[in-house]
Amino acid sequence: MHVVATRLAAPRIGPALRATPAGNWLLEGAQFIYFVGVPYLALLTGAFAPSDVGLQGSPTPDLLVGWTAQQWVRGFGQAVALGLLTLAFVLVLAGQIRRAGGHAPAAMGADDAPPTSGRVARAIRDGIYAEAHWSFYRALPIVLGGDAGRAALLGITLAAAEALLTGRRAASSVSRITLSGALLGMSSATFFALTGGNFWIAAVLQAATRISLARTAHARQTIEPLDEIIV
């Protein structure tokens, strides 16, 4: 399914499909089925429990989706700290890329256009899709071993292998691993390893990081030439 979706989004086919309402719905539907539909069908079969992918904490009914108020606050705090660290790294990296005369969004694989309301909406959608997909990949190691750290590592390994293999089969760069994609994946895996998984907080972290990453990559900075700095 990933191979098919990659071919549909390829430069020769994707723009033509996006130009028509039917083609646009086809692409959106394919993404929804792949990122959300497949994990949901696996969940319906009982292959794993909601708690295995962070949809629910403890089955105790008097808690908020299975987590106490203290756990929600602690999870949000960890997500904010992790998101700020990621953005701080991106800000420093973007500044160094510009200092060297490069184009930060292109170098990091970020969206090569200023953020708009439509792009923000797509960033939120992509964040939810990515988190659902990565949580699905972490379900099997959680079921087998129950260790969040190992599950996070195996999940990100599977996602990376999928992107590399699909990009190779499709003979395009659509599925290459970009720096921004790697940062987002590692942020998700780190949050899962630290907290044991709370999909709802992780999805918010993903969406907020994607939006902030695009804004950071396009932030205008006035940087003096290297020769003036050296002098």
* Closest to 119 measured CA to CA, from 8, 211, 225: 211
Q: In the chain, where are the structural domains located?
A: 48-230
Residues in the chain, how many? 231
Specify the 3-state DSSP secondary structure of 177: coil
User: Model-level pTM?
Assistant: 0.76
Backbone φ and ψ for 64, nearest 5 degrees, come out as: -80, 100
> What does the block give as tokens for 67?
């987590």
Q: Residue 77 has what pLDDT?
A: 92
> Above pLDDT 70, what percent of the chain?
73
Q: Which residues contact 182 (CB under 8 A, 6 or more apart)?
A: none
pLDDT tens by residue, 163-210: 777 665 544 444 466 777 788 888 888 888 888 778 999 999 888 888
DSSP labels for 200-226? HHHHHHHHHHHHHHHHHHT-------H
Q: What is the mean pLDDT of residues 67-87?
A: 89
